[in-house]
């Protein structure tokens, strides 16, 4: 029997769930508080410049392909993909590492930095590929209901990989600090320090070196537009400028939501919004997790972001650029161990117009700067400007050019905006970190324990942070709804 389902939010996980639920025959409506769909993956278009304001890395192309395949479609039906070559550059204080688009190139670069290091690299990535196959085909497809979901013949033989860390595995095989940073970088997408992330998550290194880095022509928002088109073709009703003010409950069962002051009846409510915020929409006795629970969780970083239009082409850079010319570990401590504004921050810069000329006017460059910071920090205009000056000065030094005199405009986004735009807990950017004690069944649940017919999806629940996991989260919760409610 088809159900009337109201979905809060329109990010990757919410759109994914909407598509699967509509395909199953349900009457699905999405309610998004902002003026455009996409959640954190929205877009700014200004003076001919196009900026993805959230996710900018397209990794794990197989996950996107599988999503659209589930509906008899392909990614190419909605957007055009280019594999980046090179994938990205990493700037250190005394060198630059270029990550090519296949393993032979990457091995040559490793050997240049540390002679003979390509041999352990190939073994490390082969192991990472095994982990990727198990993770994607076994572990992440579980709804996080029981610890026994992790018990398979494949994971049993690798149980030690959940108790060792990425950092220990990398440092066992590599001594050069630049190579260590290069191999520890991908797990930052999981939102935790490498020395707190299980080594099983080395599958992110295979996603990086094995599957490569891609770019949807026109930006990451093309994926959202494709998912929106798919959802609407399946009959999903999408409502923007629709702020959900309350999740309504009667006798322990949800009966709908209140949107812009109007009650909307529903058989099932699914929230793809921030999990902590979603529970504040319930009366206190219906909330599963206390404030102290949330305060004790390890959250992924927040970010200070700048969207900059330049009046010239920028030299000596690639599409993706990482600036690791300061102390990696000290910056991590300033995010996780002693939260404060970093003294000498690492940062990331994305120039999509280097490979996609549609994203900037002719002769100009679209620049996206990101500084990872601890969630919950003080956020002022003065601090934002201070850090813009810090990172642009270092950028100019490392790339040997002036850019500050060529800024047409800049916009910023930080902790206060993550809270106001996305109701994000403490202004975090990526959700809850995937540490050992926050993996699989130890994460907040897809199904409410206190309210019948109330569900959750997104990066604070299973599988975890990142765009591909969010697509999977939407599928998992849709399957759980069909199992429990039909």
Greater confidence (131 vs 65) lies with: 65
pLDDT in tens, 290-343: 999 999 999 999 999 999 999 999 999 999 999 999 998 899 999 999 999 999
In sequence order, which residues have a C-beta less than 8 Å from that of residue 469 and are 6 or more positions away? Answer: 140, 459, 463
Which one, of 457, 456, 466, lies nearest residue 434 by Cα? 466
Q: Give pLDDT tens digits for 405-441.
A: 999 999 999 999 999 999 999 999 989 988 878 888 8
What's the whole-model pTM score?
0.96
Q: DSSP of 286-311, one letter per residue?
A: G-SS-HHHHHHS-BPPEEEEEEEEES
- Rounded Cα distance between 466 and 451, Å, is 27
Q: Please answer whether residues 434 and 397 qualify as being in contact, where contact means their C-beta atoms are separated by less than 8 angstroms.
A: no
Q: Which helix (H) or strand (E) holds 391?
A: helix 381-399
Q: Which two tokens stand for residue 133?
A: 């196959």
Each residue of 245-274: pLDDT tens digit? 999 999 999 999 999 999 999 999 999 999
DSSP 51: E
- With a pLDDT cut of 90, the percent of the chain lying above it is 85
């Amino acid at each position: 029997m088809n159900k009337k389902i109201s979905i809060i939010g329109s990010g990757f996980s919410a759109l994914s769930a909407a598509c699967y639920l509509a395909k199953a025959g349900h009457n699905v409506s999405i309610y998004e508080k902002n003026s455009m769909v996409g959640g954190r993956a929205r877009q700014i278009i200004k003076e001919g410049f196009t900026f993805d304001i959230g996710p900018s890395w397209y990794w794990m192309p197989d996950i996107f392909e599988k999503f659209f395949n589930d509906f008899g479609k392909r990614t190419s039906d909605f957007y055009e993909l280019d594999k980046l070559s090179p994938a990205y550059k990493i700037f250190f204080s005394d060198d630059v590492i270029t990550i090519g688009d296949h393993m032979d190139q990457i091995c040559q670069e490793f050997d240049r930095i540390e002679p003979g290091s390509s041999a352990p690299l190939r073994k490390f990535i082969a192991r990472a590929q095994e982990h990727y196959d198990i993770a994607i085909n076994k572990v992440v497809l579980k709804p996080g209901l029981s610890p026994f979901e992790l018990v398979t013949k494949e994971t049993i033989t690798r149980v030690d990989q959940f108790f060792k860390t990425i950092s220990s595995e990398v440092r066992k095989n590599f001594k050069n600090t630049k190579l260590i940073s290069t191999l520890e970088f991908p797990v930052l997408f999981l939102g935790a320090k490498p020395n707190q992330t299980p080594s099983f998550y080395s599958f992110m290194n295979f996603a990086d070196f094995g599957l490569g880095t891609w770019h949807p022509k026109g930006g990451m928002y093309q994926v959202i537009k494709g998912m929106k088109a798919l959802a609407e073709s399946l009959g999903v009703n999408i409502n923007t400028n629709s702020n959900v003010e309350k999740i309504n409950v009667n006798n322990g069962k949800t009966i709908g939501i209140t949107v812009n002051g109007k009650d909307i009846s529903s058989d099932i409510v699914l929230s793809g919004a921030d999990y902590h915020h979603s529970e504040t929409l319930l009366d206190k006795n219906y909330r599963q997790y206390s404030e102290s629970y949330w305060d004790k969780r390890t959250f992924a970083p927040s970010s200070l972001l700048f969207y900059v239009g330049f009046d010239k082409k920028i030299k000596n850079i690639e599409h993706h650029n990482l600036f690791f010319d300061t102390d990696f570990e000290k910056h991590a401590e300033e995010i996780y161990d002693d939260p404060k504004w970093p003294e000498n921050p690492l940062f990331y810069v994305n120039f999509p117009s280097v490979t996609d000329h549609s994203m900037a006017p002719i002769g100009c460059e679209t620049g996206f700067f990101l500084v990872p910071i601890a969630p919950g920090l003080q956020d002022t205009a003065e601090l934002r400007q201070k850090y813009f000056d810090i990172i642009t000065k270092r950028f100019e030094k490392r790339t040997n050019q002036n850019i500050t005199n060529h800024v047409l405009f800049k916009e910023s986004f930080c902790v206060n905006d993550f809270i106001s735009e996305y109701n994000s807990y403490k202004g975090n950017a990526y959700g809850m970190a995937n540490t050992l004690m926050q993996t699989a069944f130890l994460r907040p649940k897809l199904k409410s324990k206190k309210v019948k017919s109330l569900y959750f999806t997104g990066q604070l629940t299973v599988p975890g942070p990142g765009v591909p996991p969010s697509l999977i989260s939407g599928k998992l919760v849709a399957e759980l709804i069909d199992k429990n409610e039909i």
